[in-house]
Amino acid sequence: MNEELLNYIWQNKLIDLKKLLINFSGEKVVIIDAGTRNLDSGPDFFNARIKIGNTIWAGNVEVHVRSSDWILHNHQNDDAYDNIILHVVYQDDSPVYRKKGEKIPTIELKNRFNPQILSTYKSFLESSNWIPCDQQIARIDSFTQFAWLDSLCIERLELKAKGISYDLKNTNQDFLEILYRQLGRSFGFNTNADAFELLTKSLPFSLLAKHINRIDQLEALLYGQAGMLNKSFRDIYPKTLAKEYTFLAKKYDLCPVESKIWKYLRMRPSNFPTIRISQFANLLQSTSGLLTNILEHNRLNDVKTLFNVHANSYWRNHSNFDKVSKDKSTLLGKNSIDLILINTIIPFTFIYGKVFKLNEIQDKSLLWYEQIKPEKNHITSKFSSFGLKIENAKQSQAVIQLKKNYCDKKRCLSCRFGHWLISGNL
């Protein structure tokens, strides 16, 4: 037994209410309102309403595994706990008193709730499985599944929004700069996301915007700042880029990032950072006013067309400068576009709508999630194998949030799936 489970039992009234009595007086207890959970310092529940005997009390409730924990936690010397109207414990092993010597009403929960609650919760905590409820998750009714996944997706969006909000504060609400950085990170995908972020931070969008109509200069700035033009070349394309970058770097006093940050190992050539940088440059150059275009479109397919960009034709038969390779498409692929929409565009439009109180943009963002196929990764595959239906990107984002922020941390009591299973709906 732990205090977290006791708080959960009290909050959800998973108690045999017919047997609730004050230990020292035998008076009957009726829970009118369990109160609001306090996650900061102070009593565990605020503003509870409890009927003890014929008297209704309003105030705070404290929860402990043993009543003697009151002394252990030094509550007897803390004024914040002197107005507790009820002490809720698993085991009442010692009476507790207010400063004036009055006994604090105490109820004992031991043997007053379904033992299956403790058994199921304990099995989840002790589980070494990929997720604690892998054998039971398929039993959860479809409405609970849908509603919880819907909430988890919004929760994940809110977390991403916090990160974007932080960046906005540090750039004086420069939405274009943050969109540029977020897009750059997306073009790095998982492997080179950090490297792309360093690149975009070393090269402000306001500087790139001065050269937005010259794709050769955009590429020169991006490749140069990526540290990829600091050597001699044979081919005309990289030679021209290097010459252009030398001039621009001197003009703007630029310092490139180290080229060793870029990763190529175990990647398909079409995913090499050399090709992604050219695609990124072409996106910036071909879609001037990208943010406005995205916000004005309502149809997801119209937004997708903005990302139908090619890398420079040089990359059709090259994967690195001066290195010939097999012919390949230089077009940004459909799956790549979907990932950029999922991880960057939709969270960005969501927070834009939130900042400017444009509910229609927030609603549109969530609708776009539902129109994209679910991501295929080890998390979505695992949940699918357990019988959970994942039908779109909204739900694939939800299970990522579920795995990382609930299952991995054993936060079963805060999870609606965990609640459904623990509270007896087996």
The continuous run of DSSP H or E covering 320 comes out as: strand 318-320
pLDDT above 50 for 426: no
Model pLDDT, residue 327 = 95
Question: Could you tell me where the beta strands, DSSP code E, fall in 321-391?
Answer: 323-324
pLDDT score at 208: 95
Cα–chain-centroid distance for residue 91? 38
Q: What is the pTM (predicted TM-score) of this model?
A: 0.88
Contacts of 426 (CB under 8 A, 6+ apart): 116, 120, 136, 139
Q: Which of 19-23, 40-44, 289-293, 402-406 has the lowest mean pLDDT?
A: 19-23
150 band by pLDDT with thresholds 50, 70 and 90: very high
- What's the distance, CA 424 to chain centroid? 29
pLDDT band at 24 (very low <50, low <70, confident <90, very high): confident
Quick one: average pLDDT of 314-332? Answer: 96
At 166 the pLDDT is 87
Residue with tokens 């404290």: 62
What are 178-187's pLDDT values in tens digits? 999 999 999 9
Please report, rounded to a whole number, the percentage of residues in the chain having pLDDT higher than 90: 88
* Cα–Cα separations (whole angstroms), residue 266 to 263, 271, 273, 324, 337: 9, 10, 13, 18, 21
Exposure string over 64-95, b if 16+ CB within 10 A, otherwise e? bbbbbbbeeeebeeeeebeebbbbbbbebeee
Q: How far apart are CA 397 and CA 400, in angstroms?
A: 5
Closest CA to 65 of 123, 156, 1: 1
Checking if the pLDDT of 288 tops 70, the result is no
In angstroms, rounded to a whole number, what is the distance separating the alpha carbons of residues 336 and 307? Answer: 10
Average pLDDT over residues 99-116: 92
**pLDDT greater at residue 362 or residue 161:** 362
Beta strands 36-37 and 318-320, pairing class? unpaired
Pick from 39, 86, 48: which is nearest to 67 by CA? 86
Mean pLDDT of the chain: 94
Spatial CA neighbour of 264 closest among 216, 316, 320: 320
Q: Where residue 100 falls among pLDDT bands split at 50, 70, 90?
A: confident
Which position has the higher pLDDT, 24 or 374?
374
pLDDT of 219 above 80:
yes
Backbone conformation region of residue 161, classed left if phi is above 0, alpha if psi is from -120 to 50, else beta? alpha
Place of tokens 């306001």: 206
Average pLDDT over residues 65-80: 94
Question: What percent of the chain clears pLDDT 70, i.e. is strictly above it?
Answer: 99
